[in-house]
Structure 1
């Protein structure tokens, strides 16, 4: 009797995500080819947004295994040997310029949970994101503490012995400079502040990203190079006029700031490059009708929100530039935030759908909750396109490090 033959097939690389929010980072990672084995989020509105899209069989999130609840009680050991990537954006409020700046003293500082997930799941790589404010001088020591914890996740803080975080930092520094640094679970970590506008997102959004590869993975990785630039946009607006012609904007409505115009006049002295123009709000929403208080039958979440105001420091985003960073707001969206400014001086709030486009969410992705709640979800999100670019690069290098077979063999 002959043996029954078995056929091995290659399954997709797997990932889990912490602090998923409305799903921007996770969607980018899924689009890069990773299969989600766990999506962790405690906020009920964000969970409702994900569930609502799952119920409509959204192609990206329909099969996400959503795990609502406090990440502090999650068991990540069950993923050991099963995943290639851990990702997430720990709550940014402790370090945000618009927050209370409590840093490590803030109960919402969940970086220790991100480190625990890496320690227990032992992924081949990780991607974490946070606000640029984390890189401020005031948090410099704690920033280094985060990097070293991610580098050596098994060197845990001895809380039962009363070890303080700065004492733990000293022990990590000692290990990092010793000959023992290559022993045990360790990661090679790089970080960089990225502006989403430089990667084809119609929003000037600066965030710090941490990417790490496990020490047994031979990935010579660097952050993807920018694909878009302000200079390329100014060339189209000031030198060639192609931008205005594409959008059929009359000369009288072609508003450019004095600062941008001065920069544009210098471009003839600078060498051209291969970058594409920054995308503007007009680029993002030109094919949509203006929102009305009655909403739209064609576009989800496209309703006019009244009450926009303009005051010093909160003057809205000119329509012919990338938007300013979308804000979440601790107590809802402030009056002058998340507004679009038109050449005639008029302004209004961006609709949820317009804001979703500025974060590169697909039009068929619906947001659950009131206007202020959905804008909070969007203000906290990672632009889908930027997440896709970074995750695709990480996946490519993981594949190269394993001879092209990043996934696992399933029989």
Structure 2
């Protein structure tokens, strides 16, 4: 194993946050499969980055993220087989045979499968939907298993939300484990918190590890960061923004600190991309100002019923009363989720002088994406991809240990 590449497939790949961690640990991506078109473009653009970096042509990539050349010009510098390895399709009964056909030449060369099916059906919020037990997303682990059966990798890494454990009174998780064991894997799981791995965010996730029975290593002990860093550490060098202000790229306002250097967030460039904030109306700005003051001065969250009457927009004061939430600058952020694409009320910047929701780049830093990671699509599309992603730093810690065990 030490003399050859360790190949993997990323299923339900999203913006490839999980893949980023595995690539940085030395794994080789054979394919990414994802149904969202913007996310697929993001994966292709990141694949272009890794390829051009390996060929010492990284300036071409920098020209693209600065807006100096088009995406088409960027992709002309990357082999077609790399771009074609990103498969934009929903994994279901109708598509899976065609996917297998595309990957047939790689059938004997897949060492690992990673990925996590869409988790909305398992989330606590998702369970309030009507007819949730018939949601087809509950059974996507079966599609995942079909890839295990087809490619017979040595191991797999399956990521999801903690709600998976208790969904349908634990029945879904019990069925999932039984199914993977039937396919020939010893299955282990733990709940991990991304903040233990250098991510400045409280983000708990279920990590399920499966090993072929002849190489059963149990649930590995992943290396944790010895020190906890803060949101202010992650945001320190970013230029200040006004609501609605946007910079496709802009110089940093100061030198990098220990956090940004240690975890390679600022990875070799002297500018930051996609520092883009959304505009806010005067009412929202008034609410944000109160929320920031209460949090910074008293460490108290703003409750909707406590707002002055002139700032209230409805009479419902019994549900979602914490819809306005400031990111804790002196600690770690609460969990970043895809809803950030719809509004920024739950992710208000802690700096009272900026009084806005966080920017695309700030959200990406809360998820530990490096600054040269470029998200394709609109501002909302970028926020959604970031909110759905696996933090690359967490994935990297997992990948390092998995690689060590596979190479034994």
Give the TM-score of the pair, scaled to structure 1. 0.70
1:283 Cα deviation from its structure 2 partner = 0.8
Q: How does 1:2-401 map to 2 (within 5 A)?
A: 10-55=3-48, 59=53, 63=82, 65-72=85-92, 73-74=95-96, 75-76=99-100, 78=104, 79-100=106-127, 104-109=133-138, 110-136=140-166, 138-153=168-183, 186-224=184-222, 226-227=224-225, 275-276=226-227, 278-292=228-242, 293-295=245-247, 296-297=249-250, 298-307=271-280, 309=288, 311=304, 312-314=321-323, 315-329=325-339, 332-342=341-351, 347-400=355-408
Distance in 2 between residues matched to 1:52 and 1:304, nearest whole Å: 22
Q: Secondary structure at the match of 2:233?
A: helix
In 2, the alpha carbon distance for the partners of 1:376 and 1:333 equals 8
Question: Cα distance, 1:100 vs. partner?
Answer: 4.2
Q: Which has the higher helix share?
A: 2
Q: Which runs of 4+ in 1 moved over 6 A?
A: none
Check conservation: 1:221, 1:397, Cα contact below 8 A.
no
Q: Secondary structure at the match of 1:300?
A: strand
Aligned residues: 311
CA positional deviation for 1:70: 2.2
Distance 1:337 1:139 in 2: 29
Which runs of 5 or more residues in structure 2 are unaligned? Answer: 55-60, 62-77, 251-270, 292-303, 305-320
CA contact (8 A) 2:211 2:217 kept: yes
User: Does the 8 A contact of 1:194 with 1:207 survive in 2?
Assistant: yes
CA contact (8 A) 2:2 2:407 kept: no
CA 1:358/1:218 → structure 2, altered by over 3 Å: closer, same or farther?
same
**Matched residues in 1 for 2:212 and 2:387: separation?**
31
